[in-house]
Each structure stands twice: as C-alpha cells, then as structure tokens.
Amino acid sequence: MKNLGEFEAGDNILSLKWSRDAAKLLVTPSTGDILVAGLEECSVKERFSGHGMGNGSSDWFQGEPVTCGFDGKVRRAGKEWAPGRGMIDRVKSNCDDSLFAVAQNRRLHVFNGANEPLYMIDLPASAADFGWSPTQAGEIATAGAGGACLWRVGEDNPFARFDWGGACLGVEWSADGRWLATADQTPSVHVYDIPRDHPLHIQGFEGKVRTMAFSPDSKRLATAGSPVVTVWPCKGKKGPEGATPIQVDGSESEVLAVAFSPKTGQLATGDGKGTLLVVSFESGQFRRKRTRLTSGIASLAWHPLLPLLAIGHDNGNVMFLSME
C-alpha cells in the first residue's frame, strides 16, 4: 500500500463518491463545506457551502454535486430549494443519471435534470434509507418500519412489498438487480431474491448491521455490525440460503465501512479505531492485509478503474491509498 496524498475536510466524513468519469471525488463531512478533490493532485479543487447544522450524504448528478442537509434544503448547480419540511439526510441519483431523489420524513421527492419536482411518493413510514435500481432507471426501493417497498416513478403504489413486521435501517442492491438486502433494527439482514419474489431472513449477528455492500459481480454480500465482517455467497439458484459465510476477523472495534473494488474485486473494511483490512478472495478462501491508520475510518470508496482506495476518517482527514 502506498499513500498518494491526503487533505483535511474538517469533520467526520459522511460519504465519499467518485464521479462517473472517475476523475473527481465528492467528499461530504458531517458539517462544513462539501469538497471536490482531484485524483491527480489528491487535493481539494472545489468547495460548496454546507447545510448549516449538518450535511446529508451527497451524490453526483449529470456531472455536478447535488447536496442536502439538516436545513431541509437541496442544492445543485447554484440553485437551492426546500422540497418540504424536515431534515434530509441523503440524496441519490439513478443508474442512467436522468433523475435524483431525496427522502424527507414520509415522502420521497424525485427530480429531473432541470431540478423540477417530477414525482412525489407518500411512504407508509419515514424512510430510513432508499436506493435506485441499478438496472431499471425508474425503479426505487425504500426501507423503513415494516420492511421494504419497490416503486416505479409515476405510480402511486408500490409494485412489491417485503413486509416482515419489523423495521429496516438500510437498503442495498446488487449490481445485477437480482438481490435487495436490508439491514434491520433487530440484529439481522433480509436478502430478497427479486425475480423469485423470495425473502431470506439471516439472523445471529452480534449487533445491528450498520454497513453492507455487494461485490461488483453480485456474487458476494459483505455485512458488518461488529468487529467481524460476514461475507455471504449470493450465487446459484438459492444464493445465501443454506450456505456457509466467510467470517473476516482482524478488526479492533466495530466495522463502520465496507466497500468492494470494481477493478480487483477486493473488499476493504474500516473500523472505529483505524484498522483497515483489504481482503482478496480465491477459491472460497480469503487473504487479508491489515493496516493500522491514525484515526477511525468512517467511509471508504474504491476508484472505479484503478486499484486505489479513498478513505474518510472520523477526524475529517481524507487519504488516497494505492494498492499497487
């Protein structure tokens, strides 16, 4: 591993997001300015005003940052507006970069490229998380009390419900659109096989699953809510049902971030004490490299085309590590 450069963003890093052309990194701290860093310089190129008392996770949309926050406002391309009342903790763009959405209390607001409100969904409960389908540009999943719902833009009712009676905290799609995973209020995960309309309830975690990620080939799901990361196989007809997962240990405290590399397929994990694991998978086994960094790891983002990892720390430091 080689440190290519680092800079300070000022506060705990909520999210890191590479642009679609893979040239720039969008850095969102909990408070303060939202930054754009250049890959070549590994330094800040642009700054955008933060959202008062707190920022929400930002995203790229049509080549520009779109941001949100505790002030209940959305900003993009020099424009600012409040879609409704209440804080906004995340904004996400869809797979073909034609729409973006924010969740605010019990409503999901969808906007087009002109920042115009295109569609509004009244949700059955406040959205803890949501995620666009990676294969269908007009489909989106919401998660909250009661489970998950799948929606099509322009329709008032969900076309699918995965209701198990509990609450979901997070949602994640596999890249092929087959699997939808939810991290639940209880120490469990639900994995839904969308084509089969088949839910699988996975229990036995030490604590609530705080972070999860699918591998780029959709064949693995990494889940974390303790110092041990569990990697589930998601291939074949039944996926993780009845399968034995891989348990990746070596972290010193609860793992707060996991991410798979689109380039190499490696899994990176980061914990609250600064332990970074980089895991390689071969023939059902795994090898890991362990590095102790100077502060807790809050977020991770692999470069889409290079064996390069961006690391966001809880003290506001952002680091670029090359794996070559």
- Is a pLDDT exceeding 80 seen at residue 271? yes
Name the DSSP class of 185. Answer: S
**CA 60 – CA 15 distance, rounded (Å):** 12
Mean pLDDT value across the chain: 94
H/E element, 181: strand 179-184
121-175 pLDDT per residue, tens: 999 888 999 999 999 999 999 999 888 999 999 999 999 998 877 888 999 999 9
Radius of gyration of the chain from its Cα atoms, rounded to whole angstroms: 19
**CA 59 – CA 171 distance, rounded (Å):** 17
Task: Enter the tokens of residue 189.
Answer: 């995960």
Query: Residue 59's pLDDT band (boundaries 50, 70, 90)?
Result: very high
Q: Whole-model pTM?
A: 0.95
- What is the percent of the chain where pLDDT is above 90? 80
Chosen CATH of 218-324 out of 1.10.730.10, 2.130.10.10, 3.40.50.300, 3.40.1180.10: 2.130.10.10
- Is a pLDDT exceeding 90 seen at residue 21? yes
Q: What is the pLDDT of residue 163?
A: 80
The whole-angstrom distance between residue 162's C-alpha and the CA centroid of its chain comes to 20
CA nearest neighbour of 113 among 63, 67, 46 = 63
In the chain, domain spans:
218-324
Mean local confidence (pLDDT), 51-75: 97
Q: What is the pLDDT of residue 125?
A: 85
**CA 315 – CA 194 distance, rounded (Å):** 39
Q: What is the pLDDT of residue 9?
A: 96
Name the DSSP class of 316. Answer: S
Q: What is the pLDDT of residue 124?
A: 86
Identify the residue whose tokens are 């906004």.
Answer: 88
Q: What is the pLDDT of residue 323?
A: 92
Task: Enter the tokens of residue 250.
Answer: 């070596």
Residues 6+ apart with CB under 8 A from 282: none
Cα first-last separation, the chain = 7
**CA 317 – CA 293 distance, rounded (Å):** 11
- Is a pLDDT exceeding 90 seen at residue 72? yes
Torsion 27-28-31-35 (CA) sign: positive
Task: Enter the tokens of residue 175.
Answer: 């890249």
173-212 pLDDT per residue, tens: 999 999 999 998 888 899 999 988 888 888 778 778 999 9
The DSSP result for 66-102, as a single string, is: EEEBTTS-EEETTEEE--SSS---BEEE-TTSS-EEE
**CA 179 – CA 218 distance, rounded (Å):** 8
CA nearest neighbour of 229 among 202, 211, 204 = 211
Identify the residue whose tokens are 């949100």.
Answer: 68
- Is a pLDDT exceeding 90 seen at residue 49? yes
Residues 6+ apart with CB under 8 A from 210: 169, 170, 183, 224, 225, 254, 255, 256
